[in-house]
Structure 1
Amino acid sequence: MDRDLKLIKQIQKKGNEAAANELVSHYYREIYHYVFKQTLDQEQSRDITQEIFINMLQGLHQFEGKRASFRTWLYKIATYKMVDYFRSKHYKFRNLSDSLDTIEIGEKKDFTESLLYKEEFSAVMKIINGLETSHQQIFRLKLFGEYTFQEIAASLQIPESTVKTKYYRSIKFVRKGVRDNGGQA
């Protein structure tokens, strides 16, 4: 944490490129994995991760470090970027144009399992994307970012009880959506 603040001050005051590179390098893998868990697409995850770090560097002058840690602030940027991505025309078009060509055909059982997993994941992501933005943020941070309720509350600056309520409502909504679509949850 102290190292992050030191690097941030160097970037804010001197525009230190080496400090910026070090800060990005330190968090790149973690943020990439957070994004990849939601997209299941390496290329798209790299692009979104790059956009997250561009936004981070552009907004770094606003970071004060008093309300939340840098990591929490970075995840907040990442979460907003993921919500934006799933609402984007690019995602909707890509989702419609995905074909079976993207799945490698191996053994029949592997192919069937891959196809079912991809379809189930896509259905669940559609349900998650239908959540209200504040519910999506909490759900994504908890499920994909593996944040605790306390960390989410600090990040979003809302009471922990509100975070829990919205998270469990989101779980119910997702389960209901899966059941209504013929799945089990």
Structure 2
Amino acid sequence: MFRSGMRAVLDTQPDLECVGEAADGRAAVAEVARLRPDVAVLDVRMPKLDGLAATEAILGTPGCVTKVLVLTTYDHDDYVYRALRAGASGFLLKNLPPEELVSAMRVVARGDALIDPSVTRRLVSRFTTSIEPPAGPAELDRLTSREREVLLLIADARSNAEIAEALHVGDETVKTHVSRILAKLGLRDRVHAVVYAYQHGLVRAAPRD
């Protein structure tokens, strides 16, 4: 039912096309290999092979060009951690409105990464103890004061639009700052930028009021 509903929503989008469906994890891996879609949307709970194992199988394939967006009804740290460690570009809860899920697919398709804001802060406190720092603190000296400001807002799970509003600049300016931050710090995506900020003590893993 969920797949049928999402396909119906996607069929109304002029820039998106649902090229295939799969009822279980093994079929999903096979379909991704056959169709090579831009984005694969996987549920954590799938028969035969769960979504996390399917993510590992898909992204572990040499030459894979597909981005993976993982959805779940179950908000567990282990799921988020394993999905991101496998290389997933996004992790979202299935209770999001359909339009937000569609927007997330576009974000992932263009090469950005995102995780549900409700799990961001809880994730990083665990994630940062499990990976090596991508760069030393000296790398921070490469950032301008504005880029540091943008990095802190990224760590606060702000979108580009929210950062633009907070800093009173345009969306394209924010995108430029984000790209430069990732390049200067040697980071893969926004998720790793969040991890970097917490690892190096720029912010503390504390929940919002």
The alignment's TM-score, normalised by the length of structure 1, stands at: 0.33
More helix by percentage: 1
Name the structure, 1 or 2, with higher relative contact order (CA <8 Å, separation 6+): 1
Over alpha carbons, which structure has the higher Rg?
1
TM-score, with length taken from structure 2: 0.30
